[in-house]
Amino acid sequence: MNIAVLYGGRSGEHEISLISAASIVRGIKKENKVILIGITKEGKWYLQDDSEYQKVIKDSKAALAVTADEAKAVSVIPGAKNNSFVVAGKPLNVDVVFPALHGTYGEDGTIQGLFEMCNIPYVGCTHLASAITMDKEKTKMIWQSVGLPVVPYVCMKRSTVLNSVVYDAALEDIEKELGYPMFVKPCCAGSSNGASKATNRKELSFAIMDAFQWDDKILIEKSINAREVECSVTGNSVTFPAESDTEEVVAYIPGEIAPSHTFYDFDAKYNDPDGAKLLIPAALSENDLEKIRKTACAAYKALDATGLSRVDFFIDRDTKAVYLNEINTMPGFTQISMFPKLCDAAGLHFEDLVELLITEALERYKAKDSLNTSR
């Protein structure tokens, strides 16, 4: 089987993708052919040399790189199925795509829509689910509509800050509704890019302006004294109840993040090896662990998620209340990432996890390809 791994991308999480993709490549069984397509920070696609593949196979700590060679620029032909990706006039003959892309233009439905136009199987959520889950406000609105718990929040659009009177009034309303401290984050960004904590009006204004560097819409959430728990989920919620084991929606052993920093930001997640302790399983009772798993499945299904996701929770230390935080449809696959670690703790080891995701992608494509598209 020819598996195209796309990585890099026009995203603030470009560098994380280079590491995730390398791990995924090492997890693909050797009887398959891996086709590496690197995407630059400007969004250009290039076929990578086999030496790049050999580099990460030989060195378990190596990350992939993106080499921009115009002779190997990739063109895309919509509707051409496995011949959709072309280099120098020659189709790459791709059977399935594994988009190891995080954040904008990789996890937000844009590239998934391109795969749909190409009529080619791909790992992960559909274009619709990807687009919705990338938007934290819309995700919370859907969860609330089906009775799932979320932390109190306010959404602000860029137009609010353009009028000082409107902006000052908005800040007063936010302070009254949420109170300090609070967290500010872009609605459509990942890996805590643009996210910060505010304990007073000055910090709040600074945090808002910083978040608007990443998105035109931001989320401001009430801060709670919370434990952070995460749960990995796989399966196809659109076909639930499943017709096969691959499609069954499964939530794995929840894990807990114990940050050593005040705020679990980008540096704590990816640059500081001591940024947090990962506790697997989370230090919860069996009843609470099961509650997390059931809620994770419900959150996943409410969004019509497919393939994989990591569902993140807050547990209030004071009230013990459980809140959904967010969902990541292409979570990190680095050596210290929670998603593969949680699956591994449940007995689904990395190579088997990668195979499961590829198999699910092929089965989902087969089912959708059998549907009528015209009379």
Do 46 and 94 belong together in one domain?
Answer: yes
> What are the respective helix, strand and coil percentages of the chain, to the nearest 5?
35, 25, 40
Do 250 and 185 belong together in one domain?
Answer: no
pLDDT at 373: 85
Q: Is 284 part of any domain? A: yes
Q: Is 343 part of any domain? A: yes
Q: Is 81 part of any domain? A: yes
Give tens-digit pLDDT for 9-65.
999 899 999 999 999 999 999 999 999 999 999 999 999 999 999 999 999 999 999
Do 102 and 170 belong together in one domain?
Answer: no
> Cβ of 1: how many Cβ atoms within 10 Å?
13
Q: Return the half-sphere exposure (C-beta side, CA atoms, 13 A cut-off) of residue 223.
A: 18
- Tell how strand 217-222 and strand 196-198 pair up: unpaired
For the chain, what is the radius of gyration of the CA atoms? 21
Residue 104 near residue 189, CB atoms below 8 Å? yes
Give tens-digit pLDDT for 219-270.
999 999 999 999 999 999 887 666 777 779 999 999 999 877 665 555 555 5
pLDDT at 272: 57
Tally of domains within the chain: 3
Q: Is 254 part of any domain? A: yes
From CA 225, how far away is CA 328, in angstroms rounded? 22
Do 211 and 271 belong together in one domain?
Answer: no
Task: Name the residue among 145, 113, 149 with its Cα closest to residue 129.
Answer: 113
For residue 100, give the DSSP letter.
Answer: E
pLDDT at 38: 98
Measured CA distances, 127 to 79, 288, 306 (Å): 16, 33, 10
Q: Return the half-sphere exposure (C-beta side, CA atoms, 13 A cut-off) of residue 135.
A: 17
Give the residues across from 162 on adjacent strands. none
Residue 267 has φ and ψ, to the nearest 5°, of: -65, -40
Q: Is 166 part of any domain? A: yes
- The SS3 of residue 232 is strand
- Given 196, 222, 248, the domain boundary residue is 222
Q: Is 374 part of any domain? A: no
Query: What is the CATH classification number for the domain harbouring 262?
Result: 3.30.470.20
From CA 343, how far away is CA 333, in angstroms rounded? 11
Domain carrying residue 246 = 133-149+225-369
Do 232 and 320 belong together in one domain?
Answer: yes
Task: Name the residue among 256, 218, 197, 242 with its Cα closest to residue 359.
Answer: 242
Do 8 and 85 belong together in one domain?
Answer: yes
Residue 134 near residue 108, CB atoms below 8 Å? yes
Residue 122 has φ and ψ, to the nearest 5°, of: -150, 150
pLDDT at 189: 78
Do 8 and 61 belong together in one domain?
Answer: yes
From CA 238, how far away is CA 232, in angstroms rounded? 18
Cβ neighbours of residue 217 closer than 8 Å, sequence gap 6 or more: 135, 137, 155, 156, 157, 158, 186, 187, 188
Task: Name the residue among 178, 190, 161 with its Cα closest to residue 221.
Answer: 178
Residue 6 near residue 100, CB atoms below 8 Å? yes
Q: What is the pTM of this model?
A: 0.91
Do 276 and 308 belong together in one domain?
Answer: yes
The alpha-helical segments, DSSP class H, found in the chain are 14-27, 50-58, 110-118, 127-134, 136-145, 164-178, 201-211, 266-270, 286-302, 338-345, 350-369
Q: Is 29 part of any domain? A: yes
pLDDT at 270: 54
**Residue 12 structure tokens:** 């603030």
Do 284 and 349 belong together in one domain?
Answer: yes
Query: What is the CATH classification number for the domain harbouring 87?
Result: 3.40.50.20
- Given 222, 248, 263, the domain boundary residue is 222
Q: Is 128 part of any domain? A: no
pLDDT at 50: 96
Low-confidence ranges of the chain (pLDDT < 50): none
